[in-house]
Amino acid sequence: MDSYGDLIAADDVLLFVNAAITSTGQREFHSDAGEQRLSLDFLHAYILGNYRDLYAGVLALDINDHNAVLVIRHLLETAGEATADQRRSEGRLIAGRLTTLPPQRVYGLFDALRRARVNNRRSRAIMRDWLAARPDAAFDAVKYRGGLKRALRHAHLAPATEELGAFVFAPHTRKHYETPLLEAWRRAHYEQGALYELPYTAAEGFAAQHGIPRKVFLERIAPRMTRLETLRLRDSAQRIGATGTPADLARMPLTRLATYVLSLPVEERVRRRAELTHALESAAGRVAGPHRGSWGKVTAVLDDSFSTFGSVHKRRRPLAVALACHHLLAALADDYTALWTSGRTDALLARPYGPTPLGHRILDALDTAPSRLVIVSDGWDNAPPGLAGEVLRVFRTRLDPERRTSIVHLNPVYDAADFDVRRLSPTVPTAGVRDAEDLPALVELAQFAEGRTGLAELITYLDTRATRMLDATHQERAR
């Protein structure tokens, strides 16, 4: 049996995990950016100081990129406080997590280490190995030249080739480059056609330098854009009449796609209903994979109240998570019912509006007798306040003490004042959620928040996730 200290440790780590999944240090509906950063910084310092092994193990979970970078940075900054075994374990976890981060995040991390004057042998080895594993050094040199140059200098590393070194440190000293991408960058300074051989972000500056009309540039650079760049620029391109490669919405990540759908005017959503619905269902089907239709009878209570607007920094993010979860749960369930707090039945036309009558919707959901009840909400139950918690308490303690119905609350918003995501009831587990794609893993993680498993089981779970992450990394490198 776990000791009281073990139970406290497990609870502390789960609290940190919720924060690391949901908070990015930006303004939320109920708290500003300063409160978010102060609260998050305290949690990082507290968990690192008291549970270093578990703090590192969190890298194997679905925490957001912002917090993954903070965890890695703090571990490297405090390497002197770790034992030899801890340094070896942390090194593997850091290397594995770096492979999943966007390159710009990693170069930003290396810059932060440089500014903090962290230059120990382990940090240099991690930077060396990550740079050596990059699939296209020339692409990085063109797109992230400043970050690459600073990383090489800070870690005292030699570029992969002499030509690459010349490009990174003195790009204008060469009259010709053998590498096609580097040569295209050189020619783009005086030849307009060459810029269309570059990545979009590098080509954009040259287009402005040459005075190329935006419409012409977007049409010709379209084949070089990534899927996300195509999606992000789709509306602005249409406004200026540019025609190019259309965004393949069906291949977009589910939560990002939901965010795009909610950014469209209602009239456009209605006009493109078939296209948008097909794209959302396709994305959800990919996430569900082999588990499609295996969750039995599922009812979801989905929050579309006014607070799901989020903030100017995270516009409609909570509502986008709810919309994405709606489509994913529909794919996972054999029998699915969706109940929005507003009472709307057309998910595609969802918008932040009105109060949050979670208690009433939960009562409606329990009337459907589901095997799983999933609640996606920021937890601000206010119509009337506290009804949701009381309904859940009575149901769990009086009507369903055998837990025939599985209930989990997923919260996409970090509550800075409480150092956690806001909970509805002590009788129901709450887990933070950043992306709907993580929903199956979070439902699995929620068992620990329910208090029925302790520290030993949590450590085993973290070890299992770490092994899974490292195995995936090795397989990717082998390919």
Distance, in Å, from the CA atom of 47 to the CA atom of 14, rounded to the nearest integer, reads 10
Q: Are residues 206 and 274 in the same domain?
A: no
For the stretch 398-435, pLDDT in tens is 998 888 999 999 999 988 877 788 889 888 888 889 89
Q: Are residues 206 and 333 in the same domain?
A: no
pTM of the model: 0.85
- The string of DSSP letters for 367-383 reads HT--SEEEEES-S--BT
Distance, in Å, from the CA atom of 455 to the CA atom of 188, rounded to the nearest integer, reads 58
Q: 28 lies in a domain?
A: yes
Q: Are residues 61 and 186 in the same domain?
A: yes
Q: Are residues 294 and 432 in the same domain?
A: yes
Q: 478 lies in a domain?
A: no
Q: Are residues 178 and 266 in the same domain?
A: no
Residue 1 above 50 pLDDT? no
pLDDT of amino acid 162: 93
Q: How confident is the model at residue 244 (pLDDT cuts 50, 70, 90)?
A: low
Give the count of domains, the chain: 2
| Dihedral-angle region of residue 316 (phi above 0 means left; psi in -120 to 50 means alpha; beta otherwise) | left
For the stretch 179-212, pLDDT in tens is 999 999 999 999 999 999 999 988 999 999 999 9
Structure tokens at 452: 């029925």
- φ/ψ of residue 385, rounded to 5: -60, 135
Q: 381 lies in a domain?
A: yes
Q: Is 148 exposed, middle or buried (0-12, 13-18, 19+ CB in 10 A)?
A: buried
Q: Are residues 187 and 326 in the same domain?
A: no
Q: Are residues 16 and 147 in the same domain?
A: yes
Q: How confident is the model at residue 473 (pLDDT cuts 50, 70, 90)?
A: confident
Q: Are residues 61 and 178 in the same domain?
A: yes
Q: Are residues 32 and 91 in the same domain?
A: yes
Q: Are residues 273 and 205 in the same domain?
A: no
Distance, in Å, from the CA atom of 436 to the CA atom of 330, rounded to the nearest integer, reads 12
In terms of residue numbers, what domain contains 432? 255-453
Q: How confident is the model at residue 43 (pLDDT cuts 50, 70, 90)?
A: very high
Q: Are residues 285 and 433 in the same domain?
A: yes
Distance, in Å, from the CA atom of 130 to the CA atom of 124, rounded to the nearest integer, reads 10
pLDDT of amino acid 235: 62
